[in-house]
Structure 1
């Protein structure tokens, strides 16, 4: 069975949910690929908030935008994604249509700097609260690296405690559903 791209699936699902003028969050900017994707969906009048604790990630994301017309839509935030409730203006709370998480480490960066379970869970809780009704969150988790196993288990546990009346959860695997394989958690807010 061929491996499928979880990033492509996340993009396809979010593309169905976003329109020009919407507000979106990239909770883990990394090299800016998801941020740029979100900006392309919501421009010219929408807004993307992109978080990362690493200055190198924000610089890579900013560089990716220099060649685009979407740069006016972008707000880079040098902070943990756990601070999103404080860093995103209150007027946008309840209006966020999509939030993307791509956990792990910065590709091409220091593999010792990884997303941490406690900040990820805090960020997921914040995102679930400020997400709009019919909003969508995607979380790609990678259990195959140091710290990734525990983070993936805790994300799954967090998803399972969400109210089924308020959220619909799906888990998509890139290949076979094995403990060591990356997976995409899809969280849809129903109301």
Structure 2
């Protein structure tokens, strides 16, 4: 056995929760890695809703999914994740966030605590019982620590009768290793 890094472990968790036919959200599309992964899991009868503020991310992901014949069950929205509630009204089994900035892009365009917390709450409101919301928190940039602290503080205050929250992180690595936050809905 090998202990998986946060991003890889997020896929391990999602693969145990997402089933063919499910509706899911990629709240921060980026380069489309998670979008593609979830599109494969939900299959032809499920649906992925993808959000990103940066048009570059949406274009890149659309091409990636088109090239792999996965675009038919995906809707991509060039808007911030704080607008999820305006586009998704169906129950979801899972959502994933990669917080920080788009690698290889403008590092001044980052996710922010206020919009992230709003989007996380929207996902919890849509989440089916036993569903999972995951946030992979990258915080080694300006504004990153504030967002990390806000998200972790929010997750710690979730009602333990309704949600289980897990924090997963390597603690002996340098350069702010990403933190995986997984929240599972236990009851309505």
Give your verdict on TM over 0.5.
yes
Q: Could you tell me how far apart the structure 1 residues matched to 2:25 and 2:11 are?
A: 13
TM-score, normalised by the number of residues in structure 2:
0.94
After superposition, residues 35-54 of structure 1 pair within 5 angstroms as: 35-54=35-54
- Corresponding residue for residue 125 of structure 1: 121
Alignment of 1:7-156 (within 5 A): 7-88=7-88, 90=89, 92=90, 95-156=91-152
Distance (whole Å) between structure 2 residues aligned to residue 163 and residue 179 of structure 1: 32
Change (3 A) 1:113 1:3: farther
CA deviation after TM superposition for structure 1 residue 7, in Å: 0.9
The offset of 1:180, in angstroms, is 3.5
Moved more, 175-184 or 33-42: 175-184
In structure 2, the gaps of 5 or more residues are none
| Distance (Å, rounded) in 2 between the aligned partners of 1:175 and 1:37 | 27
User: For 1:136 and 1:4, how far apart are their aligned partners in 2?
Assistant: 18
- Any conservation in 2 of the 1:159–1:169 contact (CA below 8 Å)? yes
What is the CA-CA distance between 1:63 and the residue it aligns to?
Answer: 1.1
Count of residue pairs the alignment pairs up: 186
Instruction: Say whether the 8 Å CA contact 1:143–1:179 is kept in structure 2.
Output: no
List per-residue Cα deviations over 1:54-83 (Å, max 9, x = no partner): 000001110111222321110001111011
CA distance in structure 2 between the aligned counterparts of 1:54 and 1:100, rounded to whole angstroms? 17
Offset of 1:3 from its aligned partner?
Answer: 7.8
Q: Distance in 1 between matches of 2:54 and 2:180?
A: 23
Contact 1:4-1:174 at 8 Å conserved across structures: no
Q: 2: CA distance between counterparts of 1:175 and 1:47? A: 36
